[in-house]
Amino acid sequence: MENADVRPTGPTLPTGRGDLSYGVVRALRGRPGSGTPLPARTAADDAAPYGEDLHLALYLCYELHYRGFCGVDPAWEWDPALLAFRATLERHFLDALRADTKRRADVDEALADLLVEPPDGTSVSHYLRDEGELWHLREYAAQRSVQHLKEADPYAWVIPRLRGRAKAAMAAVEFAEFGAGHAGRSRSRLYADLMTDLGLDAAYGRYVEVTTGEMLASVNLMSMFGLHRALRGALVGHRAAVEAVSVPAARRLAEAMRGAGAGGAAVRFYGAYAPDDTPSGEGTHDPAGHLTADPALVRREVVGGLLDDEPWLETDVAFGVDATGVLDARLAERLLTAWRDGLSGLRSSR
Lowest mean pLDDT among 88-102, 206-220, 257-271: 257-271
Give the pLDDT score at 350.
43
Query: What's the pLDDT tens digit per position in 76-132?
Result: 999 999 999 999 999 999 999 999 998 888 898 988 887 776 655 579 999 999 999
pLDDT above 60: residue 2: no
Distance CA 86, CA 89 (A): 5
Helix axes of 314-340 and 213-227: crossing angle, nearest 10 degrees: 160
Distance CA 35, CA 33 (A): 5
Give the pLDDT score at 122.
73
Max intra-chain CA distance, the chain: 60
Query: Whole-prediction pTM value?
Result: 0.91
Give the pLDDT score at 102.
87
SS3 201: coil
Distance CA 243, CA 127 (A): 21
Contact 335, 345 (CB under 8 A): yes
User: How high is the mean pLDDT of the chain?
Assistant: 89
Give the pLDDT score at 276.
52
* Burial group, residue 20, by CB count within 10 angstroms (0-12, 13-18, 19+): buried
Distance CA 310, CA 35 (A): 44
SS3 41: helix
Q: Which of 21, 19, 11, 96 is nearest to 55 (CA)?
A: 21
Give the pLDDT score at 185.
87
Residues of the chain within CATH 1.20.910.10 domain(s) are 105-340
CB-side neighbour CA atoms (13 Å) of 338: 18
Contact 307, 111 (CB under 8 A): no
Distance CA 287, CA 268 (A): 7
pLDDT above 60: residue 304: yes
Rg (CA), the chain: 20
Distance CA 252, CA 238 (A): 21
Distance CA 138, CA 194 (A): 10
- The CATH class of the 105-340 domain is mainly alpha
Lowest mean pLDDT among 18-32, 109-123, 269-283: 269-283
Helix axes of 52-63 and 213-227: crossing angle, nearest 10 degrees: 40
Residues 6+ apart with CB under 8 A from 162: 170, 232, 236, 302, 305, 306, 309
Query: Region 343-347: what's the mean pLDDT?
Result: 95
Distance CA 168, CA 305 (A): 9
Lowest mean pLDDT among 3-7, 186-190, 231-235: 3-7
Q: Which of 45, 43, 21 is nearest to 95 (CA)?
A: 45
Hey, which bits of 250-296 come out as E strands?
A: 284-285, 291-292
Lowest mean pLDDT among 6-15, 234-243, 302-311, 334-343: 6-15
Give the pLDDT score at 189.
93
Distance CA 26, CA 257 (A): 40
